[in-house]
């Protein structure tokens, strides 16, 4: 039974993350199914085509062979989602329009990405415009968000004491504990190279000239973007950024994107990424469709030498024990994301301080490879991944953990997370059993022979 539960959990994760719509050839596959209602939960219904669609999508997404009872596993997951949605309706859980729109946009960006960022190709494949696709799936996405919020409410009060974490660890068989790869904790002190005012003015003047050429129709905005823009995500598409929701852009960009008149080309303006020029193509509510040209600031050799010398001076002060690394970070570091956390660099994928060795970029790896715990590297060239700014930095190796079996001392957070997940699963199981007993549920005879985790058909006809 536990093995079936684990498979269902894995399947559940896939279904939650899965994009709920696809190109027209997916829908054509569905149309061959002889459809019927296979379950009713309150006012929620599950169709046979719902199961077929999920099975078809899973087969496309997974390289693993489908289990023999795949129909029953998908069906039970849909029953669970239906029960969540039924209870969400009973509890009058509301999802506002902006939440649904944001989720629709996220999923659409995923699909557009499959077509190399070309919205027209997606529309041609699906046979509908982007706005029609959004209208078609609005209610479905709204229902999914309600179900997720309902599930969040079930586990909201689940807390874990240190004793429960220890008890969870003690009951785990040794061979079931995960193997933890080598990990490190890092802190850094960053000094950015300055961009000279002369360089900024030269770039500004050049883009003013481009703007005039576009306005006078000597060249199109798209052509100029293809040849001159340094934004790797949009240059090949003529600078087209597609439809984007409010809150996506940096403030300088967004202020113009939502204030320029349609078709107006902005004057060149500066952001953390470089110098931009922007044209608004369309706007609807909190969404804008625009294109831009970006030129990144290039740091000259002279500026790099200056910042290297400044960083080297700070390194010498730290090495002479005249100033501790943490105090040096507070005093000298220009990385605002780490300055107030003693320079600690958090892993954006996990939110934790620990980094797997395969998650570290080659420059950082080279900087810490020969360091011992507590040592600080000499200055090394660094480029901020978000802004592209060049800098020199010092790296301190806070800790290095060798590969090992998970244990409480080194991996308390991981074990706590595993223990909490088990407790949350138990809370959800108890909730499902209670709501099944209190809800009208009818299941088609074809599925009553499934080896379900829960007894769903207590009121079946």
Give the model confidence (pLDDT) of 364-407 as tens digits: 888 898 899 999 999 998 887 767 778 899 999 999 988 999 99
Closest CA to 428 of 156, 192, 30: 156
What would the mean pLDDT of 323-349 be, rounded to a whole number? 92
Token representation of residue 195:
């961009």
pLDDT at res. 9: 39
Which pair of structure tokens corresponds to residue 51?
A: 């199961």
Residue 445 DSSP SS3 = helix
Same topology between domain 2-161+416-447 and domain 184-194+300-405? no
Distance CA 333, CA 188 (A): 8
- Fold designation for 197-295: Chitinase A; domain 3 (3.10.50)
Return d(Cα 42, Cα 440) in angstroms, integer: 5
Rg (the chain; Cα; Å): 28
pLDDT digits (tens, 9 = 90+) for 56-80: 888 877 777 888 889 999 999 999 9
In degrees rounded to 5, what are phi and psi of residue 301?
-60, -40
* pTM, full prediction: 0.59
| pLDDT score at 2 | 38
Torsion over CA: 366, 368, 371, 375 (sign): positive
Residue ranges per structural domain of the chain: 2-161+416-447, 184-194+300-405, 197-295
For residue 19, pLDDT over 60 is answered with no
> Residue 255: which H helix or E strand, with range?
helix 251-257
Report the pLDDT averaged over residues 4-9.
Answer: 38
Most confident stretch, 156-170, 196-210, 399-413: 156-170
- Other C-beta atoms closer than 10 Å to the C-beta of 50 total 20
Higher pLDDT, residue 200 or 385: 200
Averaged pLDDT for residues 352-359: 88
Q: 7-11, 243-247, 388-392: which has the minimum mean pLDDT?
A: 7-11
* For residue 24, pLDDT beyond 60: no
- Mean pLDDT, the chain, rounded, equals 86
Q: How confident is the model at residue 458 (pLDDT cuts 50, 70, 90)?
A: low
Of 27-41, 49-63, 197-211, give the lowest mean pLDDT range.
27-41
Average pLDDT of span 11-37:
48
Tell me what pLDDT residue 326 has: 95
Structure tokens at 364: 């950082």
CB atoms within 10 A of CB 307: 22
What fold characterizes domain 2-161+416-447? Answer: Triger factor/SurA peptide-binding fold (1.10.4030)
Classified by CATH at the fold level, domain 184-194+300-405 comes out as: Chitinase A; domain 3 (3.10.50)
User: Taking the CB of residue 295, how many other CB atoms lie within 10 A of it?
Assistant: 20
* Start-end of H helices in 322-450: 325-332, 362-368, 412-438
Q: How far is 279 from 262, CA to CA, in rounded Å?
A: 8
């Amino acid at each position: 039974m536990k093995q079936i539960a684990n498979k269902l959990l894995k399947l559940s994760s896939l279904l939650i993350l899965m994009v709920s719509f696809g190109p027209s050839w997916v829908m054509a596959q569905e149309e061959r199914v002889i459809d019927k209602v296979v379950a009713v939960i309150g006012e929620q219904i599950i169709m046979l085509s719902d199961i077929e669609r999920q099975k078809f999508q899973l087969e496309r997404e997974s390289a693993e062979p489908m289990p023999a009872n795949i129909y029953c596993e998908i069906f039970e997951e849909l029953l669970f989602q239906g029960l969540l949605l039924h209870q969400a309706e009973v509890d009058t859980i509301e999802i506002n329009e902006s939440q649904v729109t944001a989720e629709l946009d996220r999923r659409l960006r995923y699909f557009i990405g499959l077509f190399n960022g070309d919205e027209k190709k997606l529309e041609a494949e699906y046979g509908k415009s982007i706005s029609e696709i959004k209208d078609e799936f609005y209610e479905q996405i709204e229902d999914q968000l309600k179900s997720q919020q309902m599930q969040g409410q079930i586990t909201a009060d689940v807390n874990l004491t240190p004793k429960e974490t220890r008890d969870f660890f003690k009951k785990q068989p040794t061979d079931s504990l995960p193997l933890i790869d080598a990990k490190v904790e890092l802190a850094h002190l960053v000094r950015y190279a300055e961009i000279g005012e002369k360089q900024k003015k030269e770039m500004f003047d050049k883009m003013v000239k481009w703007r005039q050429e576009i306005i006078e129709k000597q060249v199109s905005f798209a052509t100029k973007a293809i040849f001159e823009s340094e934004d790797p995500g949009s240059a090949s598409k003529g600078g087209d950024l597609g439809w984007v929701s409010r809150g996506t852009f940096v403030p300088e960009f967004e202020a113009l994107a939502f204030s320029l008149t349609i078709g107006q080309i902005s004057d060149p303006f500066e952001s953390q990424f470089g110098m931009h020029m922007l044209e608004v193509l369309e706007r609807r509510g909190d969404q804008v469709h625009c294109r831009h040209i970006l030129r990144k600031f290039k740091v000259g050799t002279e500026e790099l030498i200056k910042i290297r010398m400044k960083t080297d001076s700070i390194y010498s002060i730290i090495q002479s024990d005249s100033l501790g690394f943490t105090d040096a970070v507070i005093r000298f570091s220009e990385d605002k994301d780490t300055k107030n956390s003693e320079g600690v660099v958090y892993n954006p994928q996990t939110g934790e301080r620990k980094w797997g060795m395969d998650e570290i970029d080659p420059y950082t790896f080279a900087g810490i490879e020969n360091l011992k715990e507590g040592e600080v590297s000499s200055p090394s060239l660094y480029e901020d991944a978000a802004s592209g700014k060049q800098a020199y930095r010092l790296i301190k190796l806070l800790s290095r953990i060798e590969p090992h079996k998970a244990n409480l001392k080194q991996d308390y957070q991981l074990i706590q997370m595993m223990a909490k997940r088990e407790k949350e699963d138990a809370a959800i199981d108890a909730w499902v059993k209670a709501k099944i007993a209190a809800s009208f549920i009818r299941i088609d005879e074809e599925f009553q022979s499934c080896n379900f985790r829960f007894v769903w058909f207590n009121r079946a006809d």
